[in-house]
Amino acid sequence: MRVLRLAKYGAIGLALLLLASTTYGQQLDRYGGFLDVKGQRTGFFHTERISDRWWLVTPDGHGFFGIGISHPITSMSEGAITFAYGGSQEEWMRDGLRKMRELGFNSVWSGPYSLERIRFGNIDAGLADKIYREAEIPYAIHVPLIKHQVELEPGENRPDVFSAKYRQYVSEQVAKRVAPNRDNPWILGYYYGYGSFMREELWINQTLSYEPGSPGRERLFDVLEQRYRGDISRFNAVYRTSFASFSDLRKNGSLTYPRWISAVKAGEPLPARAGSKNILADAEALLGEIVEQLHKVSHDEIRKHDPNHMVLGSYVKHTTYPKGIWKRIAPYVDSLGPQDLSDVNPIKPSVAATGVPAVLSDQEFGNVYPLVLQGRAGTPGAVPDHVDRLVLYDMLAGRIARDPDFIGVSFCAVLYDQSHWRRAYDRGQPGFFNIDGEPNQSLVETVRKANQRILDSVREPLDEAGIAELHRSYIETKAAYRRVMEQRFALLKKHADE
């Protein structure tokens, strides 16, 4: 059974429960599930297809839809801790939970923290774990089996997931983070990290670059030999190499997959050279082998300790896993976890092919950056103003709630304005509140209303045509903002060059 747990608002959020109850003229169960959406009562959150949509089902057996933010606790919140809470991390964390509930967030798909966001060592993770255990809000546990690329130290390799050393690492992490939570009904499930397998060609190349005879290298060359039916001349023609045999390739050869693989998956055209289509397909097969291995080993280890909670797997960029890879890992996860809605790799066909619902694990809705940062290429999710964040959030609320394939959403958001002086990854993401704890009032009001609208409309899913129309409008609006930002970038660069 697919187990997940979604949100109860808790005693602190009683007002929100009453608001939702009034919407339907009914009461909710203690976890916030709709009493008239009936599923199995298992004692743990799980997923079920009930009537015309997928639902999370509460431990008490009622349908629920989870709404959260992805980064409630981060190392870059030092300003808020200092100025709004007088240096008290405990007050900051506890008030953060209150603020999330007041905004209408009823679950925390990331748990109190994801490790790439607290990597500077200035956050008391043990305190955060304690506070969340006491909070009676559904939350997931980060089992850090795959590092986000920003966590990699200079010269650090990506792991060989086929090795005995990696299996031992998985065993240790699962024992540490899963075993103590097996009986906690407030745990949603276990996820492995954000942005897993970003720059997929680097994962493939790293694995192929290990010493001859290493498990990962051998496995990937096995896959290539099978794909080319042992015909090295055919392989050489595609890759423009001159190996005498696959044995020669294994012992003496190297292979490097190009950067354009990720770009093509994101919608760029395939390079106009012979063999490009084969190389892209080979890369998907090799990445699929790595991803499936990680998910199988991790799932089996988790199930040794915990047979009930959901396994959420990796939260991945929307272009990272095509449908073929989602199908490969479907036996080992209880939900598919693309980070965003996508127009180039929609999740709907993968839900249909796997019979597994989806959660949008890090849905962005635009960020407003200082001008000095806007002038740097690559600032992610930039929009001109906070009002544009409101537009996108409101559009997403309607789009996501009406889609029967989704069981929840975690928005890429932080509670407090973040410092942006550490590294490129930490680019001053704006929050719902400033570092003095004062709300960005219009944003706060819009988010509160939009989150309530999600709960008001989730029981009225649209058909495919209706969803497509909402999706088209969202994508067009997002593209329009992107064009404005590109013009801003160009103007700032022109002025900088003068």
SS3 446: helix
Tokens linked to 238: 């595609």
pLDDT of res. 39: 96
Give the C-alpha separation, 311 to 295, whole Å: 10
CA distances to 241, 255, 257, 279, 286 from 271, rounded to whole Å, are: 18, 18, 13, 11, 20
Per-residue pLDDT, 272 = 92
What pLDDT score was predicted for residue 377? 56
C-alpha torsion angle, residues 98, 100, 101, 105 (rounded to 10): -160
pLDDT at 149: 86
Judging by beta carbons within 10 Å of its beta carbon (0-12, 13-18, 19+), is residue 11 exposed, middle or buried?
exposed
Rounded to 10 degrees, what is the CA torsion of 467, 473, 477, 482? 60
Cβ atoms within 10 Å of 249's Cβ, excluding its own: 20
Strands 406-416 and 358-363: parallel
Residue whose C-alpha is closest to residue 350's, from 325, 387, 385: 325
Q: Which pLDDT score, from 0 to 100, does residue 157 have? A: 87
User: How far is it, in rounded angstroms, from Cα 278 to Cα 282?
Assistant: 6
Q: Which H/E stretch holds residue 420?
A: none
Q: Extract the tokens encoding 370.
A: 């200082």
Instruction: Report yes or no: 108 and 132 within 8 Å, Cβ to Cβ.
Output: yes
The pLDDT value given to residue 137: 95
CB 141 within 8 A of CB 41: no
Q: How far, in Å, CA of 51 to CA of 304, rounded?
A: 33
Let me know: does 320 contact 342? Beta carbons within 8 Å: no
**Domains, the chain, ordered by start:** 11-195+306-464 (3.20.20.80)
Between CA 258 and CA 312 the distance in angstroms is 30
pLDDT in tens, 308-321: 999 999 999 999 99
In 3D space, the residue among 220, 192, 196, 193 whose CA is nearest the CA of residue 206 turns out to be: 220
CA distance 186 to 198: 30
pLDDT of residue 424: 55
Six-digit token pair at 273?
């050279």
Whether 220 contacts 289, CB under 8 Å: yes
* pLDDT given for residue 2 in this prediction: 37
d(C-alpha 466, C-alpha 126), whole Å: 46
Residues in the chain with pLDDT values less than 70:
1-26, 375-378, 420-427
pLDDT averaged over every residue in the chain? 90
Quick one: how many helices (H) and strands (E) in the chain? Answer: 17, 11
Tell me the one-letter amino acid at 17: L
- Structure-token pair, residue 455: 């709960």
Check residue 152 and give its pLDDT.
Answer: 85
Report pTM.
0.91
Q: Supply the Cα-derived Rg of the chain in whole angstroms.
A: 23
CA atoms within 13 A on the CB side of 403: 27
C-alpha span between 62 and 55 (Å, rounded): 9
DSSP 8-state assignment for residue 339: S
Task: Give dist(CA 147, CA 397) in Å, integer.
Answer: 30
